[in-house]
Amino acid sequence: MKLLFQMAACVCMAAGLPALAADHVIDQKGKTFSERTLTIKAGDFVIFKNSDDVTHNVYSASPNMKLDIGRQAPGHPVRVPFKNPGVVEIRCAIHPRMRLTITVKK
Amino acid sequence: MRISYRGTRATVLAVVSVAVLGWGVYAGINHKSDIPRDYDRNAWKAKYTRPSSIPFPADNQFSKERELLGRTLFFDPRLSGSKITACATCHNPGLSWGDALPIAIGQGMKPLSRRTPTILNTAWSELLFWDGRAESLEEQALSPISAPKEMNQPLDRMIANVSSIPGYQAMFHSAYPGEAITPKTVARAIATFERTVVSGQAPFDDWVSGRESAISEAAKKGFDLFNTKAACQKCHGGWNFTDDGFHDVGLADDDLGRGVELPLASMQHAFKTPTLRNVDVRGPYMHNGSERSLADVIELYDQGGRKKRPSLAPEVVPLHLTAQEKANLIAFLKTLTSHDKPVEIPVLPR
């Protein structure tokens, strides 16, 4: 699958087409996000993994992106698109110490 | 051929033992209990080591003058509208900084809606109040003073009263030089004092530090259960025995808790996980005081909560604990109580 994505990206570049959206992985482990900050491009995806043995609930109340992925059981990744440029403050509703700032660039 | 009885018994025992051991290996558990075979008690103990210092925010660092001012304000009933209710009225140091009531009593002796939480170890808290509506101790400190149902004193009047007491002026000048007596300085002083209210060294801490005889064998087994079969650590892990998180644990009331502040599906009926430090002397329990004893609380969790609703935390599931396991858990929880020196009540300025 990864090879297919790489081949598609090469074809797009060769044809002068916009690059494919990228996937960025953020893990939740030890009741913390694997990164404090993340910079991505509009249209990219963030895959939220849960490597803990407890439920998490990623959400954002930022003006440019309201998000609630609901309860996320251990071992079940969730892929989220970030379409709009801006700063998105990500939290876990269940564990308020968990904080992540995602900067979405044009 | 004759086979001796003794030999037969030994053979049967061997077969049974191998079978039991085999089942234990198959099931991934210790054959003597439900403790996982790979459970490492010492590794778990290391996760409960006490911190070496109290965290203070950069914009409100500790000083003796600030602590004394905050302590004095905390015990001063003149901050309230009635002049008879202090912060310490509900957060009584003789009752582990709570009031031992199922539901707090407020202005006019009228009951409030929730139990008084302890202020023990709030220096490490992320969000304050059962519903997490305050971001910091500084923000939290003013809320009960001005709440009409609690201390019922508008902040401007509180400041006027405090400012009119000559003894306070020198104390504020020493604690916050160059700053006026304002709600902000009152809040910062009270928050500084509250951060110093820390549960002391308990028998459990002595055990974690290496004194093996500090707690009983039953308590040690309770600790093992806490981390494994009973899964208490999922929300009550770490030295302060709380994840500072919010969970619906299945209590049968209609209080939406965190769900009012943060209206997500998972936050309905969710309340802040309290510390378990000094827990056996802090009953009754839960946000609504509905559980009278630790045994009642363990029964609640053993049943997987009483109210099964969509917001019930997935971690709250039936545990199938035996009577002995419940007793071991209680024995463990009792080791979390520290025997601290009496709290010094300040002489209030006039």
Q: What is the 3-state secondary structure (H, E, C) of B180-209?
A: CCCHHHHHHHHHHHHHCCCCCCCHHHHHHC
DSSP B131: T
Report which of A61, A53, A55, A43 is spatially closest to residue A99, judged by C-alpha positions.
A61
Closest chain B residue to A66, measured at CA: B264
Closest approach of A34 to chain B, Cα-based (Å):
18
pLDDT classification of A18: cutoffs 50, 70, 90: low
CB contact under 8 A, B244 and A96: yes
Q: CB contact, 8 Å: B129 with chain A?
A: no
Closest approach of A65 to chain B, Cα-based (Å):
15
For residue A105 the two structure tokens come to 């660039």
Strands A65-68 vs A58-62: parallel, antiparallel or unpaired: antiparallel
For chain B, the C-alpha Rg in angstroms (whole number) is 25
Which member of B234, B264, B315 has the closest CB to residue A57?
B264
Closest chain B residue to A55, measured at CA: B314
Q: What is the pLDDT of residue A17?
A: 52
**Model confidence pLDDT, tens digit, residues A41-81:** 999 999 999 999 999 999 999 999 999 999 999 999 999 99
- B-contacting residues of A 21-80, CB under 8 Å? 31, 53-55, 57, 59, 68, 70-71, 73
CB contact under 8 A, A93 and B235: no
Q: What is the pLDDT of residue A20?
A: 78
d(CA A47, CA B29): 34
The count of CB pairs under 8 A between chains A and B is: 42
CB contact under 8 A, A59 and B126: no
pLDDT (tens, 9 = 90+) of chain B, 350 residues, equals 333 433 344 443 444 444 444 444 334 444 355 789 999 999 999 999 999 999 999 999 999 999 999 999 999 999 999 999 999 999 999 999 999 999 999 999 999 999 999 999 999 999 999 999 999 999 999 999 999 999 999 999 999 999 999 999 999 999 999 999 999 999 999 999 999 999 999 999 999 999 999 999 999 999 999 999 999 999 999 999 999 999 999 999 999 999 999 999 999 999 999 999 999 999 999 999 999 999 999 999 999 999 999 999 999 999 999 999 999 999 999 999 998 889 999 999 99
Strands A99-105 vs A86-92: parallel, antiparallel or unpaired: antiparallel
Any idea what the Cα angle at residue B41 is, between residues B241 and A32, rounded to 5°? 45
What is the DSSP track for B54-123? ----TTS---HHHHHHHHHHHT-GGGSSSSS--HHHHSBGGGTTB---SS-B-GGG-B-SSPPPP-TTGG
Taking each helix axis from N to C terminus, what angle separates B323-334 and B294-302, rounded to the nearest 10 degrees? 130
d(CA B197, CA B75): 14
Closest chain A residue to B244, measured at CA: A95
Report which of A27, A58, A23, A59 is spatially closest to residue A41, judged by C-alpha positions.
A23
d(CA B159, CA B171): 14
Q: CB contact, 8 Å: B245 with chain A?
A: yes
d(CA B204, CA B52): 16
Mean pLDDT of chain A: 88
Which residue, among A50, A54, A78, would best test binding to B if mutated, counting the most B CBs under 10 Å from its CB? Answer: A54
Contact status, residue B298 vs residue B329, Cβ threshold 8 Å: yes
d(CA A53, CA B146): 41
Q: E strand or H helix at B323, and its extent? A: helix B323-334
Which residue, among A53, A95, A97, would best test binding to B if mutated, counting the most B CBs under 10 Å from its CB? Answer: A95
Number of C-beta neighbours around residue B101 at 10 A = 15
CB contact under 8 A, A53 and B244: no
CB contact under 8 A, B245 and A95: yes
Q: CB contact, 8 Å: B265 with chain A?
A: yes
> Taking the model in full, what pTM does it have?
0.88
Q: What is the largest CA-CA distance in chain B?
A: 105
Residues sharing a CB contact under 8 Å with residue B162, sequence separation 6 or more, in sequence order: B73, B78, B79, B168, B181, B186
Closest approach of A84 to chain B, Cα-based (Å):
22
Question: Which residue type does B34 have?
Answer: D
CB contact under 8 A, A55 and B235: no
What is the DSSP track for A18-58? PPPPPEEEEEEETTEES-SEEEEETT-EEEEEE-SSS-B-E
Which residues from A are below 8 Å from B127, CB to CB?
Answer: 96
Contact status, residue B207 vs residue B215, Cβ threshold 8 Å: yes
Contact status, residue B224 vs residue B217, Cβ threshold 8 Å: no
